[in-house]
Amino acid sequence: MHFTIMQAILVGLWAAFCYSGQLWGIYTNRALFISFGIGLILGDLKTAVIFGATAELAFMGFGVGPGGSTPPNPLGPGVVGTILAISVAKLSPAAALALSYPFAIIVPVFMNIVSTLNASNMGWAKTAIEGGHYQRFKFIANIQLYCYAIFAFVLAFTATVSTNALRDFVNAIPQWLIQGFSVAGELLPAVGFALIMSTMLKKEYIPAIVLGYIGVAYLKMPVIGLTFLGIALALNNYYQKQKHAKNNDDASEQDGGAEDGI
């Protein structure tokens, strides 16, 4: 499969927009969102969405950075992994995720470099606005955003025009190693869930987790059915808490009335 220069430019612009969302405060820098747009541009939406959903499961947990560490970024796999999944025949989404995962490490390295280089921007921006140079202030304040957009564009454009090289590289890998990458890629969503559970899990949620495991592993429930089951449990938990809070308020009012009567 060969992609045109126009498609490469569009993929680059889409990646720049998605990555810039990390500074805008919108959730565009997500694997599924990135893959969706690339799938539309490259003409294989189904494969792109399947890969994006696989990667999203992993990065749900990888987005949690313990302490001050920078977690892996979904931009790299979202771009490179989607292109691999679309352009390389018989490459599973899990294998494409494992092969593109090193790019998830490269992106945070770039982020740290840009943040270090822009550490003194606040002082320059303050000087510019105190001097009434508002256009200069606007440019300085957005330098980091421009760097993010340019980096994402270059990464996505290069990956798209280098599709043949990527395909040749993957085809040169022995089949047994590709199978190993598939297994590793299938484990990444589990690792992602384990990471997010380690920060959010409370003992009162354990019964719901066990019930979900039973539903999937033994009852073979589809994802939609499991979603509705989760909604039912969440609503039940919500209404029980509301009822408990109301009972506490009623008890407090009765105690207050008894004290007034005394």
Residue 186 has pLDDT above 80, yes or no: no
48-57, 110-119, 134-143, 189-198: least confidently modelled range: 189-198
Q: What is the DSSP letter of 78?
A: I
Q: Supply 95's token pair.
A: 């294998």
Residue 252 has pLDDT above 70, yes or no: no
In angstroms, the CA 38 to CA 78 distance is: 9
Residue 235 has pLDDT above 80, yes or no: yes
Residue 12 and residue 152 in contact, taking contact as beta carbons nearer than 8 Å: yes
Which residues are within 8 A (CB) of 102 and not within 5 positions of it... i.e. 6 or more apart? Answer: 76
In angstroms, the CA 11 to CA 136 distance is: 30
pTM assigned to the model: 0.69
Total residues belonging to the chain: 262
Task: Give the 3-state secondary structure of residue 137.
Answer: helix
Mean pLDDT of the chain: 79
pLDDT, one tens digit per residue, over 116-138 is: 877 777 777 777 777 877 777 77
Residue 35 and residue 55 in contact, taking contact as beta carbons nearer than 8 Å: yes
Residue 142 has pLDDT above 80, yes or no: no
